A and B are shown apart, each in its own frame.
Chain A
Amino acid sequence: MSMLSEPSTSRPFDVHGKPGERTSAPAATGRRDPVDPALCRQWLRDMLLIREFENRCMQQYQDKKIGGFCHIYIGQEAIAVGCTAAVRPNDPIVTAYRDHGHALARGMAARHCMAEMFGKIGGCAKGKGGSMHMFDREHHLYGGHGIVGAQIPLGVGLAFACKYMDEVIDGRPNSRVALAFLGDGALNQGSMHEAMNLAGLLDLPCVIICENNGYSMGTSIHRGTTMGHDIISKAIGYGIDGYVVDGMDVLSVYHDMSAIVEKCRRESRPAFVDMRCYRFKGHSMSDPRKYRTPEEEHQYASDDPIGRLKLHLEERGELSEAALKEMQKEIRDEVREAIAWSESSPEPPMSELYHDVFVEPHGPYNGTSLPQMLQGKDLR
């Protein structure tokens, strides 16, 4: 695990570790069986799609097509893609507000994700959630949550429900694992600590994944978090196994997370992952990034997770230049189409203002309808 090594002169910046201090945590040791090249190429495509989507998001934000807050996932694509690959399609996941990558990796169509940000009826939540609140019932994505750390107890609750449905209602062993993502900025919220205590206490199959990009908005992890170089120690305090995973390498994410997830599934126990990464863009669209240097950004940019996967494939002769070009073109077209579709999607009708407040009548009943992307689908 390169992220655990001592800082070297060629890599002077290490946002996660303090010079001279090593983390006590072991690296996760997922088996390194070779991955089918076709699968690797699919991951490359998924990561490129997120990258292109996010780049175009920034343009759309600047063009004022997207309102509110908008948090860009560029640099962290390997995590959403690798983690999604490591779980089953019906394992529930929940994340924070930097959520476009998780939605796309989970299988939400780019058009429904983009239309949500455009505030259009074609959005995954009919334009009622926005960038920070992506929900997709079909793909078991339980949001997109805007309050830092709020999603972690929810994730533990998803794990509780998985286990309860299997063991208490159906009388069979637990079969599912929930993933709860957070940023390192959530490490100091009470909700994280309460959630970890409950997950440990109740033996809940939940992997709590800290996408540790080293910055809580503009505050570096060492300015805001005790033991910031060794956040696994927090999980150990709750009796939860912790692992350090290189979040800049999709193969590491996939191998390590597969091992961690299967252990949680088998043992019906939680785990905590220090997923080390770097966010290439600002915290949100309004962040001038004065708290870090161009040199540091440059070093991490040269460690681009997409570049690493590309290199892996090219070195093995598993990705031709023509195939890559074709892939890139397809993705550009897909995102361009998503934008055009979102632009042409109507604004939500005024009746939507009063839809979805209640399931059951309460006062004047205005009903509940599913978003376009789920209409006609059998969700049970």
Chain B
Amino acid sequence: MSTAIDPTMTATREIEFRDALREAMSQEMRRDPRVFLLGEEVAHYNGAYKVSKGMLDEFGPRRIIDTPISESGFAGMAIGAAMMGLRPIVEFMSWSFSLVAADPILNNAPKMLYMSGGQFGCPIVFRGNDGAGGQLGSTHSWCVEGLYSNVPGLKLAIPSCPEDAKGLMTTAIRDDDPVFFLESERVLGMKGHVPEGDYLIPFGQAKVRREGTDCTLVSFGRPVNFCLDAAAELAKEGISCEVLDMRTIRPLDIDSIVRSVRKTNYCVVVDQSWSFGSPGSEVASQVHQHCFDDLDNFVHRVHSADVPTPYAFNLEQEYLPNARRICEAVRSCLYRA
């Protein structure tokens, strides 16, 4: 459970996920002049997804910087600036586009501190839309957590709701290490209660989104919401699921997972990336290691289908780790199929 500020103790109001991201960035930019935002269409266009709407008006073009479509160039430039002590926020319109910037974001940012023997860190946030769900076809539907969580030296945050979007983003900007911040176009319009003022959620602390006794559902990012849908459906069948929202993949709060699995004795991991060599397989491996004697079945996993993301609406819905597939996995895991 989170030890962060209890939102019931501070003023909250219902805002969208994108507003929560903007609020965190704007508050940090007011607080620290070293923080700036750059990316494609972040300034004059007000953000391709309106996350940075109005920020140009408040902070001006020196701190809200439109870049050309040149991911490798502006990611590298931002890393150079971070090495000198600035704290850039780099928006990738889609994490799918970060692949052309793989060298700077994987070879420079997470390795700089180590390769320089502790001399040059890289306090930078890369953020943008991750994952499928909008009929964008395969090239634009990457779940990069499968690729990038493999790399040491970076932190990977992946909020599922507006409150976490603000709390994790604030923490990401204040963090001294490179943070990969994975949003989802499909939840940017989601509304939720979000605390006003400074709000930080520490990295590496999972949140129990729903308490339960029969099966632990472990997830992160948008699929946490699929898990909540599935848990509501399964409750009608008398199956009580505990839904754990990891909030960060690196660091991974394995302690919270173990605690829950020791209670339920069953575990299903729901991960929107492909199954082979994924965060889901890592979680399963660690649960098997730590809960070997507690498990009454092997850890079941629900991933996106192991195919390039299809365009057709019905195929894409089936491709995703949707509530129906999660329900099937839980029933199977609990020998109730």
Contacts and interface: CB of A to CB of B under 8 A. Distances in A.
Contacts of A168: 33, 36, 62-63
Nearest to A160: B81
A129 B112 CA distance: 10
A92 B118 CA distance: 18
B274 to A, nearest CB: 25
B152 A356 contact: no
A363 B68 CA distance: 37
Interface in A194-216: 194-195, 197-198, 201-202
B113 to A, nearest CB: 5
Contacts of A94: 80
B: contact size bracket: 35 or more
A260 to B, nearest CB: 20
Interface string A137-162: 10000110101001011111111111
A369 interface: yes
Contacts of B131: none
B72 A356 contact: no
Given A150-B107, A154-B108, A358-B177, A164 B36 contact: yes
B120 A135 contact: yes
14 contacts: A137-B119, A142-B80, A153-B73, A154-B80, A160-B81, A161-B83, A169-B33, A195-B77, A198-B68, A198-B77, A358-B176, A359-B113, A362-B155, A363-B251
Contacts of A145: 108
Contacts of B81: 157-158, 160-161, 164
B328 interface: no
Nearest to A152: B76
A164 B120 contact: no
A136 B118 CA distance: 11
A125 B115 contact: yes
B62 A164 contact: yes
A287 interface: no
B120 A142 contact: yes
A191 interface: yes
Interface residues of A, number: 56
B173 to A, nearest CB: 13
Contacts of A378: none
Interface in B63-87: 63, 65, 67-68, 70, 72-86
A202 B203 CA distance: 35
Interface in A362-380: 362-363, 368-371, 374
Contact of A368 (B67, B112, B113, B204): B113
A359 B177 contact: yes
B104 interface: yes
Given A156-B77, A162-B84, A124 B33 contact: no
B34 interface: yes
A267 interface: no
B80 A158 contact: yes
A109 interface: no
A128 interface: yes
Contacts of B204: 362-363
B118 A355 contact: yes
A143 B120 CA distance: 10
Contact of A165 (B65, B86, B112, B175): B86
A333 to B, nearest CB: 27
A197 B73 CA distance: 9
B298 interface: no
B250 interface: yes
Nearest to B62: A168
A270 interface: no
A143 B83 CA distance: 11
A126 interface: yes
A190 interface: yes
A169 B86 CA distance: 10
A203 to B, nearest CB: 11
B314 interface: no
B77 A125 contact: no
A162 to B, nearest CB: 7
B89 to A, nearest CB: 14
Given A143-B120, A154-B76, 16 more contacts: A135-B120, A153-B79, A154-B80, A156-B73, A157-B79, A157-B84, A158-B80, A158-B81, A168-B33, A194-B72, A194-B76, A357-B114, A360-B176, A362-B251, A369-B118, A374-B119
Interface in B267-325: none
